[in-house]
Homo-oligomer: A and B are copies of this chain.
């Protein structure tokens, strides 16, 4: 069934129901839809968002709430009556609740935590105590656990008793009396085993766990490498604290890459959707790097100042300045992006720097030679069309441009590729060596390379 077609008719149905104002019918209609379709409805009719949430069965309302944008979530909580908010927050899976709360101002968190049941409050406060971007923030305490001495039929009983409240029953956890994690078994293995077997007969002793302080990005890697829909989270003493489910990893991946991309574009990570972030905050996130780059780029004016006399003698030199420096910037951006990306997905580590350097040395020479040749030809062709343009020394000018391009592109490629590795080595985020950052770095040095070749080819002729 086509998702788009279905949704169109949902919108129409919803509008009809809203115009009739029959609460019961709206409620029935909403409980009939897929979670994702209700989320679509809220995107389409933001004016009804809190009404839609309020008119759903509470566990379904929670499922919708948790996939909405933070700005929508904030609006809804603002409009809902406190009793309904309490119900909704208590129903939210602990990880999504923590996720929502950590986006709010401190005072608002305090008010909302008061609305929680004592049990849920304890869980939430504990989770808020783990570092941001740690696995602790993602875990849910709602899982099914059994003991080694349980039989398969007892496991089924436990599942029947606790499955309603647990986020997944696809994996069952085995702990000892002290809460120490011993193993996990998949539900398939439980189903396949005969009912009288004991748990210790069907476990395989192979499990992978996450530490509660682990980075979320690390968790995402572990999920990718292990065929599990959920992973147990333990503390340093191997005590089972909760589980993380694979669906959260899709959001983690999204967030990590968004942050990387924004940094690579020369902005601080926004952490909010572009259209929702207040304009002044957006400005603050952008101006920092722009000013830093601008101050760096001011060195070009200083560098150009040193060559002012040369430019006065041979104005023709000034004409190629933008072409030269931007070629260095472009090749540098290319190289740094390739390396940052390869490091982000784990293809390159710091230890590979030498292999990267050799590759980029060759790449830079090849790329520079191509651009240098085009640059040389450009001057030669223009000269043949309009001989007065570069005068009798066009050949020397063409050589200056050509060799400068080789030098600048090689330099851009090398510094663009080494900078992210160097930053990582220093413990900084490689994504900071954004395209604009590398371009700025290469601009200043590019000028020096260019005017050095100019001296070499043109001194005694034009200079």
Interfacial residues, chain A to chain B (CB-CB below 8 A)? 1-3, 32-36, 39, 63, 67, 69, 156, 159-160, 163-164, 168-170, 187-188, 191-192, 205-209, 211, 220, 222-227, 229, 234, 238, 246-247, 249-251, 253-254, 257-258, 260-262, 264-267, 270, 273-275, 279, 282-283, 286-287, 289-291, 293-295, 297-298, 300-301, 304-305, 308, 311-312, 315-316, 318-323, 325-327, 329-331, 333-334, 336-342, 344-345, 347-348, 352, 355-356, 359, 362-363, 366-367, 370-371, 374-375, 378, 389, 409, 434-436, 439-440, 443, 447
Contact = CB atoms under 8 A, between A and B. Distances in A.
14 contacts: A67-B225, A163-B191, A168-B229, A187-B191, A246-B246, A246-B247, A261-B344, A265-B338, A265-B341, A274-B341, A289-B334, A301-B378, A308-B319, A330-B440
A447 B352 CA distance: 41
A39 B208 CA distance: 14
4 cross-chain pairs, A with B, having the tightest CB-CB distances, nearest first: A265-B337, A300-B322, A36-B225, A435-B435
A350 to B, nearest CB: 13
Contacts of A266: 330, 333-334, 337
A259 to B, nearest CB: 9
Contact of A327 (B209, B270, B297): B297
Contacts of A249: 250
Contacts of A187: 169-170, 187, 191
Contact of A311 (B315, B331, B344): B315
Contacts of A279: 359, 362-363
Contacts of A257: 253, 257, 261
Nearest to A267: B334
Given A169-B191, A336-B265, A246 B225 contact: no
Contacts of A434: 333, 435
Contact of A331 (B264, B290, B378): B290
